[in-house]
Chains A and B, each alone.
Chain A
């Protein structure tokens, strides 16, 4: 069975500083990888996804993530955060042949002025 670990439950960061959110997964088969963002009191929306091809994936709002197969990681980065990036971020994995997502526990990002 696949599993997803987000190593940091909370990440405080100052405005305009860079941020990296870590995600590691375990699976014995090929996977697709996703990052979702949840703003306060809202549902989840897709930031970016890795299906195949280039291991560096660019998403919305200036976020990017890098897939590292050997380390089974899919870390999310943004070079300069804004106050509006305050949210909870979820990493998720889906087996390529499956139809279900498995989510990590989430990382809460608090951007301080």
Chain B
């Protein structure tokens, strides 16, 4: 099993450009999450999904959109990139929340917006 994979690993954008980050998991997990990691702030939840076709806002959703058309994929879109979106983005997945709860993380995407 590959676990959680993210594409691309690195990306540089100019202000105003758009892009989509792809997250894929092969563990048949229901829940998927997008986080951003900034120095000293830990991981902050952007959006999440509790199943195919569903999405919900997290702590810092502004400037991002997501889609979960297939259970195994969770896409994060930036319609008009801003320098404040320079960050490392992590995707994670988990089984249904409950006693066996554990999130599995991808390797991250480092995004720089100039």
B12-47: which residues lie under 8 A (CB-CB) from chain A? 31, 33, 35, 40-45
When distances are taken between beta carbons in the complex, the residues of chain A under 8 Å from B45 are: 100-101
Interface residue tally on A, bucketed by range: 20 to 34
Cβ of B97 and Cβ of A9 under 8 Å apart? no
Cβ of A104 and Cβ of B40 under 8 Å apart? no
Cβ of A100 and Cβ of B42 under 8 Å apart? no
When distances are taken between beta carbons in the complex, the residues of chain A under 8 Å from B42 are: 4, 6, 90, 103-106
Q: How many residues of B contact A (CB 8 A)?
A: 24
B52-104: which residues lie under 8 A (CB-CB) from chain A? 58, 90, 92, 97, 99, 101-103
Q: CA of A99 to CA of B45 in the docked complex: distance in angstroms?
A: 12
List 8 other contacts, CB 8 Å, given A41-B108, A103-B44, A106-B40: A43-B4, A43-B108, A49-B102, A51-B99, A94-B101, A100-B45, A103-B43, A105-B40
